[in-house]
Structures are given as C-alpha cells and as structure tokens.
C-alpha cells in the first residue's frame, strides 16, 4: 500500500468517526412510568385495532370456509369467536405489561410481543 492510499484511508476513518459521533444519540432523559396523553391515545388505537382485526380476520376465514364447504353459518361463527378470543388475548398482553425497563425488555429477556431479544 502506498503512502497516498494510507492517507486516504486515515481521512476516511476520521470522517467516519466524525459522522458516527454526530449520529449517536445524546443522553436523553429517561421516560417516566406514567403514560402521557399521546401514548395513552396510541395504546387505545392499538387496542381497538387488535380487537377489530381479530374479529374481521376470523369472520373472513369463517366466511370463506363456509363458502368452500357449503355449510353456511358454522365456520363463520366458530372463527369469529376465535378471532374475538385472539383479539382479547392481544389486548390482555398489551394492558398487562408491567416491570418493563427503558429497553422494552421484560425480566425474562423477551420484548412486549414475546419475541426473544438477542444480545
């Protein structure tokens, strides 16, 4: 490697370090445990969308199975009830979040949706 190449590499390293320093977040204040109005409204929309989505998906699957098999209300009723149960389960998981540190991880190393957090 020539002297010219090492100079370019060192300049690149300096610019890269400068940009990384610029892009790293500053020390932000910790969030409080109390919900603000914005996050409460967001949670309300999320709860509503989870409930509606569960019912709509269950209703759609039930309707299509009824059309495919020729049995009219059986699958639609069953899958609508399953969709409601799934919606209520999601709401329970959202509302029942406690002891969540600032990183969003529970004590068992899982995030709010139950997915494993990799280190």
Report the distance separating Cα 72 and Cα 83, nearest Å: 18
Residue 80: other Cβ atoms inside 10 A:
21
Residues forming a β-bridge with 116: 110
Q: Which residue has the higher pLDDT, 14 or 101?
A: 14
**Is residue 62 within 8 Å of residue 78, measured between CB atoms?**
yes
Half-sphere exposure of 46 (CA within 13 A, CB side): 12
Q: Which residues of 94-113 are buried (b: 16+ CB within 10 A; e: fewer)?
A: eeeeeeeeeeeebeeeeeee
Cα 51 from Cα 63, distance rounded (Å): 18
What is the rounded average pLDDT for all residues in the chain? 78
Is the pLDDT higher at 106 or at 87?
87
- Of 30, 14, 10, residue with least CA distance to 22: 14
CA-CA distance, 23 to 17, in Å (whole number)? 10
Model confidence over 61-105: pLDDT tens digits? 999 999 999 888 899 999 999 999 999 998 888 888 754 555 555
Higher local confidence (pLDDT), 47 or 28: 47
Direct distance between the N- and C-terminal alpha carbons of the chain, in angstroms, rounded to an integer: 37
pLDDT of residue 99: 47
């Amino acid at each position: 490697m020539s002297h010219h190449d090492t100079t370019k590499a060192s300049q690149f390293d300096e610019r890269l370090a400068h940009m990384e320093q610029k892009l790293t977040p500053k020390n932000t204040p910790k969030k409080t445990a109390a919900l603000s109005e914005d996050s409460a409204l967001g949670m309300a929309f999320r709860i509503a969308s989870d409930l509606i989505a569960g019912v709509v998906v269950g209703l759609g699957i039930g309707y299509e199975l009824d059309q495919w098999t020729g049995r009219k209300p059986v699958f639609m009723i069953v899958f609508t009830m399953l969709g409601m149960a799934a919606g209520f389960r999601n709401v329970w998981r959202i509302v029942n979040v406690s002891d969540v540190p600032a990183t969003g991880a529970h004590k068992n190393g899982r995030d709010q949706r139950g997915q494993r957090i990799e280190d």
